[in-house]
Amino acid sequence: MAANGEPLLKKVYYENCPGCKVDQLNETRQGIPYREFFFVWIVVLCNALPIASLFPFLYFMIRDFHIAKRQEDISYYAGYVGSAFMFGRALTSVFWGIVADRYGRKPVIMIGTITLVIFNTLFGLSTSFWMAISMRFLLGSFNGLLGPIKAYASEVCREEYQPLGQSLVSTAWGVGLIIGPALGGFLAQPAEKYPYIFPEESLFGRFPYLLPCLVISVFSLGVFVACFWLPETLHMHKGKNEDGHDSYDTLEAPLDVSDDKEVTEETQGGGTAKKNLLRNWPLMSAIVIYCVFSLHDMAYSEIFSLWAVSPRKLGGLSYSTDDVGEILSISGFGLIVFQIFLYPLVVKTYGVINVSRAAAVLSIFLLSSYPFIAKLSGFSLALLINCASVLKNILSVSIITGTFILQNNAVDQHQRGAANGISMTAMSFFKAVGPAGGGSLLSWAQKRQDATFLPGDQMVFFILNLVEGVALLMTFKPFLALPSTRPN
């Protein structure tokens, strides 16, 4: 430091580098970057909507395709449509991450948003099972912006506002879980629900599931146009300028290394040796647990929506798309309230691991009550199923958030991007298996209503609890390993 308190080394900004322009702006701007954070919020929201919107009407969509020979087979085919999105995302998330690191966050965000407009609209126009599953697969394949948008939320602001930027991503996703099911539930089959507005011979009478998809696509189109004003945050220059002067970051790195040690290739980038992430067992064990819990969570989401609209004779609730959309929206709202006001206090008091374990145990008891709740009717059924759905979502998010925190605590800061990329790829594969497995499980269980051992939906929730129980056991030693010291 100089005598006047100024740093001896000034950070070098490159004239044609968009990342440098953002950093320079953040250095002079003191307040919260509301405009940039608003971009983050609407981008995440428009990408969450198509994931959550189809659950209320998917059962009826598959029924109208006439691909299922029996009513019990509808859930089987619905599961594959639900899995197609996650399977496509799992195959391409690493690719889009590489593109974002090489060419910028903005191109990946814009590609993901405009392809959402195209393939989500085509999904609403689907006239066959194979068209629907193809559109969902393509939608997932081009939807590789969740990782880049998280990086963008950290890069577009000053360091003290980075936690706020990350919380915006979670909050926007949570709002999508409220609005998405509501759109899917209330806008699907408009010719049946609102015949005075949408006649049977109209476009929405011919394509009964187009309206919710079209509303989401129109909103996403507006987001795509707004993204033209999105500032790029990727630094597009080398470590040294043309005159050979070291940049601030390059000169800063060796200052953290003691004078009697040689600066190796591993420490030149940031003063910390890069470790092999695949050999980091605290990280990998946390990722595996995260994936198993995600498998359970996604299978439950698929099963709950299909089970709720299934007829009473098959053990379901005989609910309509409106009813399911209302339940899921209430659950999403309860989840947001819990995340904002209660979860930080609970974790601070009991710790991440203990909260996740307690949530898993409570979830097992809760799911065991579902077959008995299904025997009720009227107001008592509506009250208990809404309360159970809210509680189940709160427990699931408590577990998932806890395992996500474990992953980030298992690696140094400069490796968290790569660690989250590995986690997202693995999680997407497990989430792709969840809906397909859940739909097949429900279809099989509905064919054994008169079985002696766990008939009908009792078998469904029993198997879900087995998966939850396995994941719970994995949160203990020797499987789960915690880092000896918390990384920076």
Give the pLDDT means over successive 10-residue stretches in the chain (488 positions). Answer: 52 76 79 85 90 90 92 91 90 82 87 95 96 95 82 78 71 80 91 91 93 96 92 71 39 36 40 67 90 91 91 91 88 80 82 91 96 93 94 87 79 64 80 90 92 91 96 93 61
Q: Are residues 24 and 164 in the same domain?
A: yes
400 in any annotated domain:
yes
Q: Are residues 43 and 172 in the same domain?
A: yes
Q: Are residues 150 and 295 in the same domain?
A: no
Query: The domain that contains 398 carries what CATH number?
Result: 1.20.1250.20
* Residue 274 pLDDT: 56
Q: Are residues 88 and 229 in the same domain?
A: yes
100 in any annotated domain:
yes
Q: Are 72 and 447 in contact (CB under 8 A)?
A: yes
The residue from 181, 216, 237 where one domain ends is: 237
User: Looking at the 3D structure of the chain, how many domains does it have?
Assistant: 2
Q: Are residues 228 and 335 in the same domain?
A: no
Q: Are residues 209 and 333 in the same domain?
A: no
Q: Are residues 232 and 91 in the same domain?
A: yes
Q: Are residues 362 and 475 in the same domain?
A: yes
Q: Are residues 132 and 50 in the same domain?
A: yes
Angle subtended at Cα 337 by Cα 331 and Cα 339, rounded to the nearest 5 degrees: 100
254 in any annotated domain:
no
Task: Please give the Cα distance from 327 to 339 (Å, whole number).
Answer: 18
Q: How far is CA 151 from CA 38, 40, 111, 386, in A?
A: 15, 10, 17, 35
Q: Are residues 233 and 291 in the same domain?
A: no
25 in any annotated domain:
yes
Q: Are residues 221 and 301 in the same domain?
A: no
3 in any annotated domain:
no
268 in any annotated domain:
no
Q: How far is CA 323 from CA 271, 320, 327, 349, 385, in A?
A: 56, 5, 6, 37, 11
Q: Are residues 27 and 126 in the same domain?
A: yes
452 in any annotated domain:
yes
Which residue range(s) make up the domain with 382? 279-488
* Residue 420 pLDDT: 67
Q: How far is CA 402 from CA 150, 298, 313, 343, 356, in A?
A: 18, 17, 39, 10, 6
274 in any annotated domain:
no
* Residue 241 pLDDT: 44
